[in-house]
Chain A
Amino acid sequence: MRAVRVLFGRELSLAWGGGGGPLLACGFMLCLTAILPLAAGGDPRVLAPAASGASWMALALASLLSLERLFERDLEDGALDLLALGPLPLEATVAIKAVAQWLATGLPLALAAPVAALALGQPAHLIGLTALAAAIGGLGFAFTGALGAALALGARRGGLLIAVVVLPLFIPPVVFGAGALTRAANGQDPASALALLAAYVLFAMVIAPVAGAAAIRNAQG
């Protein structure tokens, strides 16, 4: 559909251009990864078991960075009114923005995640699984993040509010995603944890556009 393509193109160009969104998120994630050995000591016996978990925590925090941009700027400069009068229902607009957010930050972060995990001492054969789990989880982060960004619309210091609203919603994907890597590292089949991760992501993809659109309508009124 033409309208979907038009909006998608705008969102991607806004996310990539001006401020280097994806690079910033990846840089932030790698900084977090670099801080852990400094805080916990460089002993591989300490770091290696925590590598998967730490990389998922860094992933969740880095996914928060550009959420404030998602709706807040459009509300401030009036573009949200224009989006609401467009051909697509607001629910579809929220979903498209979330998918664009995933492409612009979630996927680059999924490529950076194995680097972070590897640096902390994760076994090298888990590289593929780390990237896959991060890509699936990133889609969940994008949708739940979009919901949080919509709920925080119009609040002063909205960025901080988004973090507080969204981080609890990020817990299940972190549990399942890091769980899949831990199981694989212990020689167990990670499929069950990945399936739960995917189920949570699908759930978020259904709920977030509806709830997010309602929150946006409320903020516009």
Chain B
Amino acid sequence: MLKTVDIQSLSLSRGERVLFHGLSVRLPAGEAVALTGANGAGKTSLLRAVAGFIRPDAGTITFSGGPNAGPGLDGETLEPETARRDGVHLLGHLEGLKPTRTARQEFDFQTAWLGGTGAAREAAVARLSLKPLLDLETRKLSAGQKRRLSLARLIAAPRALWLLDEPLAPLDERWRTVAAELMTAHLASGGMILAAVHDPLPVPARNLDLGGLA
């Protein structure tokens, strides 16, 4: 079980452009970090680096946890591949939905693939009121409805680290409140959140500013 993420003097670049140098941040269980910064400052790239999709130029991303982890104890360092495969959720701009498949087919696949159990899936569907949407093809869903489907995936397949890219952007007031409750519950159960945002996160979070364009 993933308990802590430790990013040490990380440098990232995209093509020729250096996004940031020597970024360090520690994310222990139960805490959230809000990434802010101008468009193109590297918020999404940082999330993707933590998810393992972008190789950093320098620095390390360490995942730790395991049975010996507890208050004040990081536990063992985990093998990054393993830690990502059972401990990381990424919610990006793209929801990964196939336009011609029904929301139910896609939700069932995504949650089963990410390790969700039957009961948790039922609960997630109820929590985000997805019942009336499930039989629609996903191309008929609005951006906000797609995002609700993705939020349901986060709670249907419990994973410790949530990497969220503008999680609230397409949601209306009502669902922003629900999303905030989900995040609060996730943190209370020892989860971690690293979120790229322009508006403040609706949960207590440390702010990490990546600044403007380098």
| Residue ranges of A at the interface with B (Cβ–Cβ < 8 Å) | 2-3, 6-7, 9-10, 13-14, 17-18, 73-74, 77-87, 89, 217, 220-221
Contact = CB atoms under 8 A, between A and B. Distances in A.
B94 to A, nearest CB: 3
Chain A binding site: helix, strand, loop or mixed by DSSP?
A: helix
Chain B binding site: helix, strand, loop or mixed by DSSP?
A: loop
21 contacts: A6-B113, A10-B113, A13-B105, A18-B100, A74-B96, A78-B94, A79-B97, A81-B51, A81-B92, A82-B110, A82-B113, A83-B113, A84-B52, A84-B53, A85-B88, A85-B89, A86-B113, A87-B85, A87-B113, A220-B53, A221-B54
B96 A79 contact: yes
A18 B99 CA distance: 10
Contacts of A74: 96
A80 B90 CA distance: 11
A221 B53 contact: yes
A156 B87 CA distance: 34
B204 interface: no
Contact of B90 (A2, A10, A77, A81): A81
Contacts of B89: 85
A87 B94 contact: no
Given A17-B101, A79-B97, A217-B53, 17 more contacts: A3-B113, A6-B109, A6-B112, A18-B100, A77-B95, A78-B93, A78-B95, A79-B96, A82-B90, A82-B110, A82-B113, A84-B51, A84-B52, A85-B114, A86-B113, A87-B85, A221-B53
Contacts of B114: 82, 85-87
Contact of A81 (B53, B81, B97, B105): B53
Nearest to B99: A77
Contact of A78 (B86, B96, B113): B96
Interface in B65-91: 81, 84-86, 88-90
Given A85-B88, A85-B90, A2 B98 contact: no
B115 A87 contact: yes
Contacts of B85: 85-87
Given A6-B109, A6-B113, A82 B96 contact: yes
Interface in B137-157: none
